[in-house]
Amino acid sequence: MRLNRRDLLKAAGAAGALNLVWPLSAGLSPAQALEAAQALGAVYDPAPFTLGVGSGDPQPGSVLLWTRLAPEPLAAEQALPDIVEVEWLVAEDPALSRVVARGSHPASATLGHSVHVAVHGLAPGTRYWYVFRALGKSSRVGRTKTAAAGPVPRVRFAAANCQAFHDGFYAAHRGIAAEDLDFVVHLGDYIYEHGPVGGDHVRDHDAPATFTLADYRRRHALYKGDPSLRDAHAAHPWYLTWDDHEVVNDYSGTTGGAPFLKRRSAAYQAWYENQPHRDASAAGGAGLPDPEIHRVRRWGDLLELTVLDLRSYRSAQNLIGGTILGAQQKGWLKQNVSAAPDSWHVWANSIMLSQLRSRVGGGYMFTDQWDGFTAERKEVLTHVLNSGMEDLVVVTGDWHSAFVDDIRPDFDNTASPVIGTEFTAHSVTSGAYSADWNRTNGPVMGRGNPHLKYFEGNRYGYDVYEATPARFSAHLRVIADRRDPNSPVTTLTSFHIDRGVAGSYEDPATKSSPAQWRRDQ
């Protein structure tokens, strides 16, 4: 019988076993914390590159390389000099014999001995391999790819979200690492600020929440202990946004007193230190970061990726005149829509854009998502319609279940035109509703939301998206068992969108796959 991490922790607590407690419990030494993490399946790379390597934010001639020195990954402080020089190298081959760029970068204690190197002068649409060296040791070899330029016949990428360490193993990331991809998009909830819980608002006394910079650094280090996550980072370049649990459940970035602002600042810094994210505010390696998430990136003439930040600038929910984007980001998004090129337009969106009523004529299920900001949603989507922009695809996380929705400027008006499609992906591990809940409520949600085409909530995994000049396809990859780090990956179903035709359709070959709701087409 396989046990997930939550079950192991419960069993250990009942038995009083020190080596199976929550690794970030108060009072554990770094060695004890590491032992506890290893008992839950954590395995680290050799020191000092224990947390692996990664790359991100690829552009046609540039990519961002990342690592972080952490000889004792779960220690509050690292026994390292204030500044460690880290050498880096980029080559055209896995053996690193055809070197195209090299240099060194200072890893400072101020930024957790993290390294963010923006490498320029690379060829568009090209794979490269890279390595870091420091303190007489070398990191694993990572692989990356620059964004394409000009005509592109295909773009293929994966989207992942919601990966609670205590809820299971990252077999989904093992699958992502093995995929043939141009890049990965992470849609948020990379970490959870709490440990094993009965719900988002209840914390176990042995799994204290994160508040300080040291807390968040250790939380990220624990999550990086899953080898499949490190493999996925080393295999592909990533674009990243965040949701709430990188800081605290359901937070608004513009409200809260001084203690919350201090906590948010610590969380943002630790997130930056542990991610392959390009951020101009800390480009010199010494300044404190203030990560800017929203950006537009293009993959040749085929795909425009718009990454949104739906946490940092939002107001409280359900306010007249409330905002989820903030005035500056909203203006930026509308301006980009007005100037959009002729391509597929993909919005990386951390929380559900489409309306989700609890039943016919009922209230919204959750107003932490765009349903809490209905006027702004209608404003933005009406602008998309009026601009004439076509081929809009929104990829979303957060829900721990899979949805496929038609996007309309006015979701309550079935005569409102379809202007795009939203794909909400399964979670990597984070617990979904029960099979009984899904079986009962899938049809209820379907009948209450005429734009909802598909719902499946019993599985875990990730999505793979493929764009060609003629069609955009979404392949819902699922794992067999999140309790198994080597769980096989299969395709549950696929949906397609034809270029120039708003709305999706399910692939006939997979339409008989299990689901709790399908709208007849």
Cβ proximity of 316 and 252 under 8 Å: yes
pTM (predicted TM-score): 0.95
Per-residue pLDDT at 200: 38
- Strands in 343-460 per DSSP E: 344-349, 392-396, 402-407, 420-424, 452-456
Q: How confident is the model at residue 202 (pLDDT cuts 50, 70, 90)?
A: very low
Q: How confident is the model at residue 355 (pLDDT cuts 50, 70, 90)?
A: very high
Q: How confident is the model at residue 5 (pLDDT cuts 50, 70, 90)?
A: confident
Lowest mean pLDDT among 286-300, 312-326, 380-394, 462-476: 286-300
Q: CA nearest 169: which of 490, 479, 492?
A: 479
% of the chain surpassing 70 pLDDT: 93
For the beta sheet containing 452-456, the strands, ordered from the edge strand earlier in sequence to the opposite edge, are 295-299, 303-307, 344-349, 392-396, 420-424, 402-407, 452-456, 517-518
Lowest mean pLDDT among 15-24, 44-53, 275-284: 15-24
For the cut 80, the answer to whether the pLDDT of residue 203 exceeds it is no
Between CA 352 and CA 366 the distance in angstroms is 10
> What does DSSP assign to residue 82?
S
Question: Once rounded to an integer, what is the mean pLDDT over residues 261-279?
Answer: 96
Question: Once rounded to an integer, what is the mean pLDDT over residues 316-331?
Answer: 97
Per-residue pLDDT at 20: 63
For the cut 50, the answer to whether the pLDDT of residue 465 exceeds it is yes
Lowest mean pLDDT among 65-74, 226-235, 275-284, 310-319: 275-284
- Top pLDDT among 4 and 187 is at 187
Per-residue pLDDT at 10: 60
Q: How confident is the model at residue 3 (pLDDT cuts 50, 70, 90)?
A: low
Question: Helix and strand tally (H, E) in the chain?
Answer: 9, 23
Q: How confident is the model at residue 254 (pLDDT cuts 50, 70, 90)?
A: confident
For the cut 50, the answer to whether the pLDDT of residue 204 exceeds it is no
% of the chain surpassing 90 pLDDT: 89
Which tokens belong to 44?
Answer: 């680290």
For the cut 80, the answer to whether the pLDDT of residue 30 exceeds it is yes
For the chain, the residue count is: 521
For the cut 50, the answer to whether the pLDDT of residue 184 exceeds it is yes
Q: How confident is the model at residue 134 (pLDDT cuts 50, 70, 90)?
A: very high
Per-residue pLDDT at 9: 63
Which tokens belong to 471?
Answer: 């069609």
Residue pLDDT, tens place only, 156-174: 999 999 999 999 999 999 9
Per-residue pLDDT at 205: 45
Per-residue pLDDT at 215: 97
Residue pLDDT, tens place only, 400-436: 999 999 999 999 999 999 999 999 999 999 999 999 9
Question: Once rounded to an integer, what is the mean pLDDT over residues 277-283?
Answer: 73
Lowest mean pLDDT among 52-66, 93-107, 280-294, 368-382: 280-294
Average pLDDT for the chain: 94
Q: Which residues contact 199 (CB under 8 A, 6 or more apart)?
A: none
For the cut 50, the answer to whether the pLDDT of residue 354 exceeds it is yes
Per-residue pLDDT at 255: 86
- Top pLDDT among 209 and 139 is at 139
Question: Once rounded to an integer, what is the mean pLDDT over residues 184-196?
Answer: 96
Q: How confident is the model at residue 197 (pLDDT cuts 50, 70, 90)?
A: low
Per-residue pLDDT at 208: 77
For the cut 90, the answer to whether the pLDDT of residue 143 exceeds it is yes
Q: Which residues contact 92 (CB under 8 A, 6 or more apart)?
A: 98, 100, 126, 128, 129
- Top pLDDT among 7 and 230 is at 230
Q: Which residues contact 274 (CB under 8 A, 6 or more apart)?
A: 51, 68, 112, 114, 217, 220, 221, 224
Question: Once rounded to an integer, what is the mean pLDDT over residues 284-288?
Answer: 58
Per-residue pLDDT at 201: 31
